[in-house]
Amino acid sequence: MIVLGIDPGYALMGWGAVQGEGSRMRLLGYGCIETHAGTPMQYRLRTLQMGVRDLIAMYHPDDVAFEELFFARNVTTALMVGAARGAAIIAAVESTDQLYEYTPMQIKQAVAGHGKADKRQVQEMVKLLLNMKELPRPDDAADAIACAITHLQSGRGKEQFRMK
């Protein structure tokens, strides 16, 4: 099974493609889709949507797993990231209806063993679980890989995380 993990963002949208077979996992690729400040919103969203389409065409994921949004204070940022997430969801649903979502706490729990792990702990565990030589960077990409790992580890229970 191939899972494309996505950490929604407006300036940087992290992604990670992970293949799982039983308890074994292999990293296929990771990175970020980047948009630039000063570019009109509609073009930034189009860049994100086309980037996700390209990733789906490249990796042919069986499932796409999104990190849910969590914002404590900045409403403007939340709206922009929500729009970016929407663009990514539209791109994904054009190819599959196997869309899932996990909270940041669920991802940290699954990858690092506790829901309040910091970014560095998540990166270290991603590196360890996938036998990487270096820490995955930037944070957005590491979070997306962790989301894909979380989905692979959910096994038969994944249906409870299906996007509704």
**pLDDT values of the chain reduced to their tens digit, one per residue, 164 residues:** 999 999 999 999 999 999 999 889 999 999 999 999 999 999 999 999 999 999 999 999 999 999 998 766 678 888 999 999 999 999 999 999 999 999 999 999 999 999 999 999 999 999 999 999 999 999 999 999 999 999 999 998 999 999 99
Q: Half-sphere exposure of residue 12, counting CA atoms within 13 Å on the CB side?
A: 12
Dihedral sign of CA atoms 138, 141, 143, 145 in order: negative
DSSP-derived 3-state class of residue 115: coil
Residue that the structure tokens 């996700």 belong to: 52
> Alpha-carbon distance 107 to 67, whole Å?
8
Catalytic annotation, pick one of 63, 67, 139, 143: 67
- Token pair for 128: 């360890």
Which region, left, alpha or beta, applies to residue 60 given φ > 0 means left and ψ of -120 to 50 means alpha? left
- Token pair for 79: 């709206």
Residue 67 catalytic?
A: yes
Domains of the chain: 2-161 (3.30.420.10)
Q: Are 143 and 31 in contact (CB under 8 A)?
A: no
Residue 63 catalytic?
A: no
Residue 118 catalytic?
A: no
Catalytic annotation, pick one of 63, 101, 139, 140: 140
* DSSP single-letter state for residue 98: -
